[in-house]
Every structure is written in C-alpha cells, then in structure tokens.
Amino acid sequence: MADTKIEDLNPDDILQAELFLTTFIKEQFPSMDLSEGRVLRELLIRPAAIIHTLEKTDLDRLRLSMSIDAIEKDPTLADDEQVDAVLSNFRITRSLGTKSTGQITIVINRKLTTSVPARTIFTLNALEFITKKSFVGVTTEEAAIIDPATQRQIFPRNDGKFSFVVDVEATTAGEISKVRRNTTFDSVTPEPSGLAVAFATQDFSGGSSEETNAELVARFKLALSPAVYSGRTHIESLLRETVPDIKSVSIIGLGDEEMLRDRHNIFATSQGGKADLYVRTASFPESVKLSKAATLIDSATKKWQITILKDDAPGFYLVETILSEGTVETSSSLEITSEVRQLNLVPDNNEFIPDIDTNTEGVYSNYQTAIVQFLDPESDITAVDPLYDVYVQALPKIGTLQDKSSDRHTRNPSADYLVKAPVPAYVTLSLTIQHTELTNPPSSDEIKKSVVDAINDLNFSMGRLPISIIHDSIHNVTGNKNVLVAYPSLMYCRIRKSDGTFINLNSADLITIPDLPEEGITSRTTVFYISVNDIDLTIEQISALPV
Amino acid sequence: MLPTYPTNDFNQGYELLKQLGSFWINTFQSKDELQSFLHGSAQEFAQTHINMLETVACLSRFNVPVFHIEDWYLLIIKKSDANTITSIYQPDDLQYGPQDGSVEERPAGLTQIYGGVDKVDVIQAPLPPSMVDCPIVLQNLVVLPSKVWVKGVDYSINKEQKTIRFRDDPFKDSLVAKREIFDELGVVIDEEIALWVYKGEFDLDYVFTHFGYALNLKLKTSEGYKEIVNTVWDMHLLGASVEGLSLFLSAMSGAQTIIDPEETIEVVRVEENSQLVVTSSRVYRFPLAATLTVTEGNIGDILFHGDPLSDAFSISELSKDSPDYSLLPAISLSRNFRSGQQLSELTFKNHSVSLDYLGTDIDGKAIVRFETFGFPGDIDFFWDYVHTAGVAQGKTLANYLDQRENPPDEPGPLALPATVNPMQFMIENLLKNNLFVIKVKQASFSTGAPGINLFRLLRDVIPPHTTYVVYVEISDLEDIIDLENPGDEEEAGAEEEISNFLGTSALDQSYELSESPGGDVSTYEDISVLAKQVSLTCE
C-alpha cells in the first residue's frame, strides 16, 4: 500500500477534525480566539487535525486494501503482491496465464535431413513461437528413429514436396497466441534448408491470459466451495479444479425445462437424480486430427465409411474435413454424404454410464459416436482399410470431465451427471468500417480479435447477441471518432441441433437463442462461437471536408 | 450495553497532561487550555482506535461491523434543507383540513394542507449521505452540554428516507449554536445549526466491501444482510444442510432461530408491539402477526441451534418416513417438470378422489386416470401419453396400480384402488426423493427483512439433481368474488366477455385442429378470471 500524502487527504475530513478540536476547546474557553489565521489555530489545531486525518485515512486504506472489490475501484490501494495475499484468504492463486503450444509442419522441397535448432523463431504477425529444443527431420522410417522426441520423420506429400513437424511454444502468454490449423507463418529464423512453407499442423492448445482482478472476483464463490459433487458452485469448483482453463459452466437439473433425462417414466415427468453439466472448455472449439481406417461401402460410387468412436474426440461438434492420408492439409475436403450420430453406452470396466435415452440427451457428450460416409473418387477400391485424415471440431477435455464425474472417488452415488459441450451457435459477421482520409485505417487484425473476444466472452449469459456489443468492441479498438461502423452490420448464426440440422438466424440488430428446451436448446445450454476467419471485414475510406 | 464515562484515559484531559511532565502541570501558565487541547486531541485518537478495531474486525465475516461508528460527529443542518422532504405516513396517521386537537402537536384549529408541515414546530432534515442513525443522543456541546436530545423522545430517525425529525424546532432553540450564511453581497440567505452526534452510525459498506462482493450479493446494509452473507457463505463452504437452510431462511425472513447450541425456554410473552421468547441465554422478538411455535406450555423445553420459533418458515422433507403432506394444498407441474405439449400447468390436488377406470383400449389394456386440473387439451395429452408410454414399456399405470398378487390379466375396477390422492401419488411415485418443500408466511417476516427474492441464491448451493417447492402464504386477507354476478362499486363480481385467444407462439411443429394429439378439441373450453383494480385512494 502506497503511503498516504497530506495533499491526498480529503479536505472535508480535515475540516471535521479541525472543527471538533476548536469546538471542544471553545466549549471550555469561550473567550479563546481560535479563528482562522490565529497562532493556536494554525500551529497547533490544524497540524493536529491533519495528523489525525492522516492516521484515519491510512487505516481506511489499510482496511480497503483487504478487499479485492475496493482494490478494483482504486488500484492504488494495493500492489499485486498484496492482492495475491488477499486472494490467499479465499484459497485463490492468480493464474499467471499459459503459453500456447502446438506443432508446426515444415514443408521442404527435397527429402534431405533437415535440422531446426533450438530457439528457432516462427513469426506470425507480431507473435513469436520458438522451438524449445533442437529437431531434426530425418529420412529414415519411423521404426528406425532413435529419439522420437527430437527426430521427426520426413513424409512425402502429394504436391511433390516433403514435410516433418516440430513442437513450438509461444513466447508470450495469452489467448492471442492460439493459432488455428493451417495458419501459415510469416517467417522462420534461422530458416531451415530448403524451406517451402511452415504452417500450424493443428489448432494450438493452451494459451490463456493472466487473470485480471475482475476475473478473480468472479471465482471467489467457487473458491469458497469445496470441489465436490454437491451444489452447483461445488460442482463447478470440481470441474475447474480438473480443467483449470474452463470458460464457463451451466448446470441443468431438476426443475429446469432443459432437463429431459430425468423424465424417463410413463408420466414424462421429472423425478430428479440427474444433472447435465454444460462446460465450455475453450473460447473456440479446436480442430482435432484423427487418423481413421475406412471401409468401402459402394465400389461404384467409391463411397467409404469411417466410425468416430466415443474416445476419439469426446463431445465433438462437426466433421470438418476428410482427406486421404498424406494429402496437402489445405486441400478441400472429400465430399461427406452422410453423418449419423449414435451413442455408445457400453461400459468399460464397470464404469458408470449415465442414463441416456436419445441422441438429443447424449449429443456433444462423451458417449457420442458417429458413422460418416464420404466419396473419394481418386481412391483405390482394392485398398484394405485405407487411412484418412479426419479433422473434427471439438472442445477439449470433455472426456476428462466426464471421467471425473463418473469416477467412484468423486461421484455422488445418488446422482447421475452427464458432461456435455454446449450447443454450438456459430456466428459469422459482415462488417464495413469507414474512416476519413485524415485518419489512419484501423488495424483489421485488432478489430477482428476484439470482436471475437467480445462474442466468445458472452458464454451462457443472456442468450442474446446484440450488435451493440460488436460495435462497442470495435470502437474500443479504434478509439477514434473519425472511424465509423457502417450500417447495417450483418450477423448470421447457425445453431446445430442434435439431429444434425441447423437453425439459421440472421439479423442486423439482435440474434436471440431460441427457447427450445425439448431439443436441448436454450440460453442455458447454448453458446456463441466465432473465430477471426468468420468475420468479413471491409475497411474503406470516405471523404470528409476539412473543418 | 450503555456507554460508560470515563471509558479510558482518553476521556480525562488531566491524566494526559500528567504524561507531559511536571513543567506542564506546575509551571506552564495556560495548562488548562493545554489540557483541553490534549483532551480534544485524545478524542480524535480514540476515534482512530475505534477505526483500527473496526479494521481488524473486518477480517472476519462473523465480526465485521455492520456500520462504522463515529464517537463524535458534528451534524450541520441548513435551514433551507429542513422540511424539504415529503413525509411518508402510515394509514390514518394524517388527516387533511381542520384538526380536532386529538393529536398532540396538531392543535385544534390548525388546518393541515397538502405539502405543509404535519405538526407545528416539527423539523425534518436530511442526514449526511452515509449516515444511517444517531442511535443515542444529540448534544449542543461535547464536554458539558446544556441541551441533550434523546432519540425516540426528542428526535427520530427515518432510515428509509434517511432523515432526522425533531419534535421541536432546533432553529428556535437559543442553546443551539447557529450561524447565518451570507451571499457575496452580504445578504443573509440561509442559516445553519450544528449538533454533536454521539456514536453516530455510518454505512461504509463494510459487509459488501469485505465479504458480500465475493458472493456477488449486494443488499441494503443491515444486520440481516450480514446474516444472509454468512449463511450463504456457510452453505458454499459446508453444503446445503437442513441447519444451513434453516439459518438462511431465518436471515431471509428476519425470524430468528435458536442461536446457541442448546437453550431452555423460560418466558413466552406478548407485548404491545411485539412478542417475546426468552430463553436461558437469549431474548427473541417477533412481530405480532407471527404465530409462535412455542407457547407458555413449552416453558422448560430445550431447543437446539437453528430451531425455528415462529411460523415464518418451515421445511418439509418429503423423503422421510410419513412426511407431512398437509403443508401443501396441491402441486402444479409446468414445463419445468414435464415434457410434451402444454399450454399451462397441470395441477394435482391434495385430497382423495376416485380412480377413474375408463375400460380398455383396442388391445385390451386397461386405462385409468385420476383427477387433474389444467387446460383440457393438456390433460388429454398427458393421460394419453401416460397410457401410450405404459403400453410401450410393457406396463401401464393400471398395471402398476393392480392390487392383485401375480395378476393373470388386465385389472378391472375391482382390482384397482378405489381412490387415490393425486398430489401424494405424484410426489411419492416421482418426486419425493429429490424434492423438499419450503413454506413461508410473509406476514411473520420482520420489518425490513430481505425477503423471498433471495431464494435465487439457493440455486448455487442446492444439489442440481434436487430442488424445492416454495409455498408462500401471503396474507390472511380474504375476499369473495361471486362469478355469477357483475361487480359494482361495493362488491367484486365477474362479467363474461368474448374475446380472441391467440394462444402461445408457434414453435416449429404444428398440426391441424382435426389432427390434435389430444382428445376432441371441439369440447375444449377455457375459462379465466381477470381481476382489475377499480379504485384506489391517493394521499
């Protein structure tokens, strides 16, 4: 806590103390002259009043420095060390943020042993990612690799080039460093020999910002609550203890319209005993690469089928892309002709299986599976179980959380908890921003990031996406009255239902999550998702007369 | 506890002077003035000491002070602020027009006008923004006051309005220090008086600033708010136990429960404005409208921590053996508890009715129903679903109710129970293991109690696979509305009027009326009563 200076004292407080002293003395010595400018007033009473006020103010600041709420309102009350000490009273430790990690595919022109030394820097806009250790791309077969941690096999690609992967970590913490799959890096220093291009192999994982005081305050209730399967805050506390990066949780139970699983009786009436835990474990779903063996369904059309098992990508949302193994990652997906979601409720080793009757009840949960059929016109129909790279979109750790909920060490024996990823409401935007010639054009990247953060932060709150939030986030970045958001800004939203169809919404003003509890879709189960790639942003210059 | 004087050396200037040494006592000529200064300064130190104790107390949610105390506070009231506040009256508190002299300080002949002062010489003025009470006395001087105003006798505090109301106009009192206020031309434009408040209470948001914010729970500062914060905090820490829930309801209703681990009832008494329950260690006070759960016949009984003393609230645990269903008149199930189409809730009453045997369906399966209230289409759909689902699952409701051992065939009326209690049936067969009932009687709540809107806080701490029903007994007022007759100015009534019913907004499913999944739609009718306020009195 910074020392209080006399000039910082509230003059009214000093006056109150001064009045008290003068009145007190004058009551006993009415003839004593204690008016302004007199010696006793100036040299004795006022300094005493100032000292008393100083002491009281210091005590007040000491008291307030024990409250995070007060520190939020007046950050001069306490430094970070003091704040952390206060947090310890609530069993809270500030998360300092994490750096995102991931793999980068290095494409080279020739199949030659290629080294990538430790601390090689991959640059993307202003972000830097480094290799924490040396890697060597080797031409030997995988079985002959001596040290898989540092030696990576070089594979041929169907564009005539070759590739291998290296592991990298962002140099700074924060969500901004989460790179999406196939994003091409601007430069590599030092550049590996024969480098053609370097891009993100998969979505980077991790990457969170240091917790702000406001975020910490929001966690207080959870910190008070023991991590056990009891009340909603206790359960959320346990979930966050298991997966610290959880963004938001919505727990549906007895008496909630969305609770369908406790109505498995001839009255279709709730009996209780069950809860659905909707957990948003990331701001945006990650792209997960699966290697799946396909079965030929129809040789005439070259239709193949793969099965996505429950443990492949628990709670996944979409099958994004299917490529034959080794195809350039940026290629278009093979045509998907059907996708049928099913449930696998067969227990492994006496595991607890929640009571799920329908796909609506089990969609986006750990128990969801899918049979996907697709056409591969270039395929060899004589091939046996050919491998395909299947990219699915999923939130991380849904399976981990279900395991925790079903684990006999933590499970409530009288309850049945099902962890689900929230129903996805995918948002795309079409925005036009105008600026005068007197103003530099605003940064497209910064605007997109601000809009994405604002929308993805909505979580389970209102179930509404007003355009005002988007405009506000844009103006937070531009901060300039000479930058305008042109009307209309168009918002599109697609909500994936459990049967695979979509509810399409669009508006220039407000997107509202529909209230369809029987389909598991309400503001308590559904969240908005948007990525920077989903924003069509036009920045144009407009003329303005000089003033 | 009444304040004592002197409480310590800070209250005695001479003791402080002695600490300075013999020169200041024996030689220094203005020692009396010095002693006075030391005495006054010591009062300031005493206040600093109070502030320090409050700061330490703020570390504990149990000890956090509700209000900040200022030992001595100079309250300045401007004449221009006096009587600028509109009085709020209780019913029959004020009659406009000529007064008959029956009310003290409203002499006969006084004409009470709207916007005028309500009593001669009464002055009402706003308190400083954070000040909430002057709980003991006001004085014109600190050390040797020649005039003391006693709370409840000479002045009163309206905590809602944040005003102080004097019985006699202090501006007319010659013993009160007054000062004229001049404008820049030297013209008197106002007058102010200064009074010393002893132990003034100030709301510095201690409870919210130090603990309430952690729960995102902001209410008006009060002892009740502190209790709510503590009980909710306990339920976060310890889970929602019966005792925790009972303490929460006590704080919410302002109806005290037994505080100590064990107390013996000693006195149960009704006073003019309240009812008292005196135990071996505490005195509990309740409003007259509350019904106490203890009587004089309970004197000598031992009660335990959390036990209620009034009917402000009660908790009924339905999962126990032989629960008390008499608490509830009926249970209504809305979309929150039922799947399928519905326009409104289905209600199951708590009384015994005959079980309706409707014969068999085309497959020979027995069909039964019992009394259900709601929109007729909803009722038809509900019972059709019950039977269809029972058939699909291989056991219909009639099969479940069949009283025969190893029944060889579908039950007939004689094999079925003659009567059923619809509410008990639904609770016992569906809900009882995960549902409990909270009954509250608002008339028994204490004045200023936080109230039932705080039930929302329970959602965080009640296990989500369970829930509770709140049954609110709102008042004892009764009125009879004769639906057969139109109302008039004297009595309420009802008139029928034909109007369009547009129904609920369509979802993405629809069907032709003739294809309704319910029964014969042509037989459905819907009756509603619209209550309108036809007059009110404005004062």
How do B137-139 and B131-133 pair as beta strands? Answer: unpaired
Length of chain A (residues): 547
Taking each helix axis as running N to C, give the angle between helix A398-406 and helix A232-242, from 0 to 180 degrees, rounded to the nearest 10: 120
Nearest Cα of chain B lies from the Cα of A44 at a distance, in angstroms, of 9
Whether A255 and B41 lie within 8 Å, measured CB to CB: no
Which residues of B, range 469-508, sit inside 8 Å of A by Cβ? 507-508
For B62-77, write each residue's pLDDT tens digit.
999 999 999 888 898 9
Indicate the residue of B58, B141, B339 with minimum beta-carbon distance to A66.
B58
Residues A224, A226, A227, A231, CA torsion sign? negative
Closest to A525 measured CA to CA, from A465, A479, A463, A438: A463
> For residue A418, is pLDDT > 80?
yes
Which tokens is B513 given? Answer: 């009326």
For A4-21, write each residue's pLDDT tens digit.
888 889 998 898 888 888
Which tokens is A259 given? Answer: 């609770």
What is residue A143's predicted lDDT score, i.e. its pLDDT?
62
Closest to A72 measured CA to CA, from A51, A53, A87: A87
**Cα separations in angstroms, B426 against A271, A523, B399, B430:** 10, 30, 16, 6
Q: What mean pLDDT is predicted for residues A418-441?
A: 91
Q: Mean pLDDT of all residues in chain A? A: 90
Higher pLDDT: B178 or A502? It is A502
- Main-chain phi, psi angles of A79, to 5 degrees: -90, 175
Spell A469-506 as b/e; 16+ CB within 10 A means b.
bbbebbbebbeeeebbbeeebebbbebbbbeeeebebe
Nearest Cα of chain A lies from the Cα of B318 at a distance, in angstroms, of 13
3-state secondary structure of B479: coil
Structure letter (DSSP) for residue B469: E
d(CA B232, CA B251): 10
d(CA A290, CA A338): 18
Give the range among A330-334, B346-350, B363-367 with minimum mean pLDDT: A330-334
Q: Mean pLDDT of all residues in chain B? A: 84
Contact residues on chain B for A19, CB-CB shorter than 8 A: 74
What is residue B203's predicted lDDT score, i.e. its pLDDT?
95
HEC string of A385-416 equals: CCEEEEEEEECCCHHHHHHHHHCCCCCCCCCE
Q: What mean pLDDT is predicted for residues B394-417?
A: 93
DSSP letters for A472-541 = HHHHHHH--TTEEEPSPPEEEEEEE-TTS-EEEEEESSEEE---BGGGTBSTTTEEEE--GGGEEEEEEE
* pTM for the predicted model, two decimal places: 0.81
3-state secondary structure of A305: strand
Give the range among A283-287, A489-493, B473-477 with minimum mean pLDDT: B473-477
Which tokens is A386 given? Answer: 């050919």
Computed on alpha carbons and rounded to an integer, the radius of gyration of chain B in Å comes to 34
Strands, E assignment, B346-452: 346-349, 353-354, 356-360, 366-369, 419-420, 435-441
> For residue A480, is pLDDT > 90?
no
The span from the first CA to the last CA of chain B, in angstroms, equals: 41
The complex's ipTM works out to: 0.82
Contact residues on chain A for B385, CB-CB shorter than 8 A: 266-268
Q: Which residues, including other chains, have CB under 8 Å from residue A265's CB and lie 6 or more apart?
A: A271, B389, B430
> Which position has the token pair 């109690």?
B449
Q: Give percent of chain A above pLDDT 70.
A: 98
For B246-281, write each residue's pLDDT tens digit.
899 999 998 888 888 899 999 999 987 789 999 999
What is residue B526's predicted lDDT score, i.e. its pLDDT?
57
> For residue A193, is pLDDT > 50?
yes
Whether B55 and A62 lie within 8 Å, measured CB to CB: yes
**Cα separations in angstroms, B69 against A54, A60, A514, B53:** 18, 13, 52, 11
> Which position has the token pair 């929230």?
A422
Rounded to the nearest angstrom, the gap between the alpha carbon of residue B63 and the centroid of all alpha carbons in its chain is 23
Give the range among A109-118, B1-10, B393-402 with minimum mean pLDDT: B1-10
d(CA A219, CA B194): 47
- Main-chain phi, psi angles of B53, to 5 degrees: -65, -40
Which of the residues B14, B38, B44, B399 would you substitute to probe the A interface, choosing the one with the greatest number of A C-beta atoms within 10 Å? B44
Which residues of B, range 184-243, sit inside 8 Å of A by Cβ? 194, 196, 208-210, 213-216, 233, 235-237, 239-240
Rounded to the nearest angstrom, the gap between the alpha carbon of residue A243 and the centroid of all alpha carbons in its chain is 12
DSSP letters for A10-38 = -HHHHHHHHHHHHHHHHHH-TTS---TT-
Closest to B135 measured CA to CA, from B161, B164, B169: B164
On whether the CB atoms of residues A440 and A296 are closer than 8 A, the answer is: no
What is residue B17's predicted lDDT score, i.e. its pLDDT?
75
